A and B are shown apart, each in its own frame.
Chain A
Amino acid sequence: MRIGVVTFPGSLDDGDAARAVRIAGGEAVRLWHGDADIHGVDAVVLPGGFSYGDALRCGAIARFAPVMETIIDAARGGLPVLGICNGFQILCEAHLLPGALTRNQHLHFRNRDQHLRIGATNTAWTNTFTEGEEILIPVKNGEGCFVADTHTLDELEAEGRVVARYTRGNPNGSQRDIAAITNAAGNVVGIMPHPEHAVEALTGPSLDGLGFFTSALRHLAGVAGGQLTGGATR
């Protein structure tokens, strides 16, 4: 399975994301922001960092990159897309996910290992987890405070689209402790903390992040075998 990892000017975690794909057993394909061709990949990861220097708003300019026009169309057609940190911000700016990520309420950059509780497990990126499972992965952001209007928040909860919540402390003031959400179809997931930094014992606080990448491979194997594990089944 070929999973594309996009590099924007200012991306920082594209290398780690590609590495996580390989450790999970997939083939990582590097994609370039200026190239509208996504080279037939089966899924895409939008990595963390500061694309375009966070000019204007985080993710606002990346959303108009040539590669994003292709990814937005493909995501609407069911392509699994995972946005991590800045990638989550880009997905919100592209309106593939609702809400927005704003300045951390306390105005401080937060960089620490963070406990999360998994909610939705019927997405393309979380089907190897169990609902209610607690995981530990790094969080590092200055603008990770998830906000949306009350109607949108209620809808996300009613439809089971909250993928993960912060537990044992909310690092940025996100409404309803939301750390990750999915779209209605379950193929697009945005997450503020960094699963790609928790895939090896040497460098991560756990191996819990690996599940996001193995989930995508399992989802794609299910699609290939005619048995869906998430995403389009919803």
Chain B
Amino acid sequence: MARVVVDVMLKPEILDPQGQAVANALPRLGVSAISSVRIGRRIEIEFDGEPDLDTAREIADKLLANPVIEDFSIRVDEQAGDSAQVSA
């Protein structure tokens, strides 16, 4: 299993109303001492062979993230096979 994980987050200066709505709901759970919640997106890309980070970066830059409002990070998921078994 050759899995690359792309994490996409709104840039820090971009308002995240969804994250704010979640943060505002936390007191109802009895949770306090949370100063901020921000919501992003995790994308898992499975390669047929070896993971190709350059290709993954191109996919992320051109399609998965909008560089005007979002940042992204990329990593190879070494535990892909194991974690799939654990979660099953």
Contacts and interface: CB of A to CB of B under 8 A. Distances in A.
A128 B32 CA distance: 56
Task: Tell me whether chain A's interface is mostly helix, strand or loop, or mixed.
Answer: loop
Nearest to A107: B17
Interface in A151-200: 173
Given A100-B69, A102-B69, A148-B68, A64 B63 contact: yes
A107 B15 contact: no
Interface of B: 13-15, 17-18, 21, 63-64, 66, 68-69
Interface of A: 56-57, 60-61, 64, 92-93, 98-100, 102-107, 147-149, 173
30 contacts: A56-B64, A57-B66, A60-B63, A60-B66, A61-B63, A64-B63, A93-B66, A98-B68, A99-B68, A100-B66, A100-B68, A100-B69, A102-B14, A102-B15, A102-B69, A103-B17, A103-B18, A104-B17, A105-B15, A105-B17, A106-B17, A107-B17, A107-B18, A107-B21, A147-B14, A147-B15, A147-B68, A147-B69, A148-B68, A173-B15
